[in-house]
């Protein structure tokens, strides 16, 4: 913690933070404190290690201590929901909360992961997702938020393929009423690959330290494809490297992390988040 931060903490400082288990690897404190400092706001953001059997106490603490807001990460995103006063519609559909706003004692849960991802994809790779044909690899928690947020952009179709096909089928069934969402078997990607505009890897395949692993070969896909990966460590995963080498546009997970934080910051402070400051803070720490 730099001197500048210590010097500006007062009895009126807005309290923010993140709870999770584990939590020590989190880049959120660095990102949010950089943002608070850049805007000259009197606030501080810390990381708090909360074990699952202490989650209820932690949320009681948020109320009792008057925290303005917290982020919630693995493994608490689902279990925190019944402990809140209100859960926003998007978070309810997704079935997970990653951001809590304390409005004068009333705790409201949001999910900014999916909208953060879409804002990043639109700003960094493709501004108009209408009519696009999107292939999502993976059907875990992150895929859920992303597929829901993508349905709000009116793509022509979202195909979901996953190692465990039943999870893809379940996810597609849950989100079908919001758009044309279809589960497909991994082998069937061969049949649709030349029609795909955007491929999104939502699996953990390729994440550090398994940096040579790829969830999918891009052979047979068009070269004017956009390939997007939720992973940001490393910034260029094996599938993004393959995409770049064949001349396709690439989009990494750093922007999703930054924009999920930006939305949370905006909910808590009512101010536009200094997105570039946040991005640089995380980028520097990854180098
Ligand atoms: P999750 O719920 O555990 O889901 C993991 C997904 O990866 C499942 O679809 C799983 O398939 C698949 N998978 C795991 N290992 C696999 C393998 N060896 N081969 C094929 N598929 C495999 O995890 P999550 O929370 O959705 O996170 C997924 C990824 O997104 C992680 O890499 C995470 O770092 C990243 N993420 C990034 C951000 C960001 O801000 N950029 C935010 C959230 C998550 P099965 O269903 O068959 O197990």
Residue 260 beta carbon below 6 angstroms from any ligand 1 atom: yes
| Average pLDDT, integer, range 237-247 | 98
Look at residue 2 in the predicted model and tell me its pLDDT: 52
Q: From the CB of 168, is ligand 1 less than 6 Å away?
A: no
Rounded to an integer, the average pLDDT of 259-278 is: 98
Beta strands in the chain (DSSP E): 14-20, 43-49, 69-72, 86-87, 99-103, 106-110, 133-137, 157-161, 181-183, 198-201, 226-229, 249-251
Q: Do 81 and 168 belong together in one domain?
A: no
Alpha carbon of 202 to ligand 1 centroid (Å): 5
The pTM of the full predicted model, rounded to 2 decimals, is 0.94
pLDDT digits (tens, 9 = 90+) for 125-152: 999 999 999 999 999 989 999 999 999 9
State whether 138 and 242 are in the same domain: yes
pLDDT digits (tens, 9 = 90+) for 208-224: 999 999 999 999 999 99
Each residue's pLDDT tens digit, 38-55: 999 999 999 999 999 999
Instruction: Judge whether residue 4 has pLDDT over 70.
Output: no
Identify the domain containing residue 54 by its residue range. 3-111+256-286
pLDDT band at 3 (very low <50, low <70, confident <90, very high): low
For the chain, percent of residues with pLDDT exceeding 90: 95
Ligand 1 centre from 142 Cα, in Å? Answer: 7
Q: Which two tokens stand for residue 63?
A: 């109320």
Q: Residues 245, 278: one domain?
A: no
Active site residues: 77
Task: Please give the distance, rounded to the nearest whole angstrom, from the Cα atom of residue 141 to the centre of ligand 1.
Answer: 7
21 and 133 belong to one structural domain: no
Residues 173 and 83 in one domain: no
Question: In this structure, are 50 and 138 located in the same domain?
Answer: no
Count of domains for the chain: 2
């Amino acid at each position: 913690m730099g001197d500048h931060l210590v010097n500006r903490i007062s009895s009126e400082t807005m309290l923010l933070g993140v709870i999770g288990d584990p939590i020590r690897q989190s880049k959120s404190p660095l990102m949010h404190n950089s943002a608070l400092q850049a805007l000259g706001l009197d606030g501080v953001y810390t990381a708090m290690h909360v074990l699952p059997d202490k989650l209820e106490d932690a949320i009681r603490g948020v109320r009792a201590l008057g925290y303005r807001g917290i982020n919630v990460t693995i493994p608490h995103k689902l279990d925190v929901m019944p402990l809140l006063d209100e859960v926003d519609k998007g978070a309810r559909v997704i079935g997970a909360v990653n951001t809590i706003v304390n409005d004068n004692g009333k705790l409201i849960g949001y999910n900014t992961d999916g909208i953060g991802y879409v804002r990043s994809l639109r700003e960094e790779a493709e501004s108009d997702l209408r009519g696009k044909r999107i292939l999502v690899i993976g059907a875990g928690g992150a895929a859920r938020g992303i597929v829901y947020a993508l349905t709000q952009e009116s793509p022509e179709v979202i195909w979901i393929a996953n190692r465990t096909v039943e999870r893809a089928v379940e996810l597609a069934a849950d989100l079908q009423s919001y758009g044309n969402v279809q589960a497909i078997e991994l082998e069937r990607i061969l049949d649709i690959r030349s029609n795909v505009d955007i491929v999104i890897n939502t699996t953990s395949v390729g994440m550090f330290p398994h940096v040579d692993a790829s969830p999918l070969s891009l052979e047979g896909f068009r070269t004017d494809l956009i390939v997007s990966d939720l992973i940001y460590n490393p910034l260029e995963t094996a599938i993004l490297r393959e995409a770049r080498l064949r001349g396709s546009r690439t989009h990494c997970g750093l922007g999703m992390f930054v924009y999920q934080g930006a939305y949370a910051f905006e909910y808590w402070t009512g101010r536009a988040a200094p997105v570039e400051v946040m991005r640089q803070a995380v980028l520097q720490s990854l180098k």
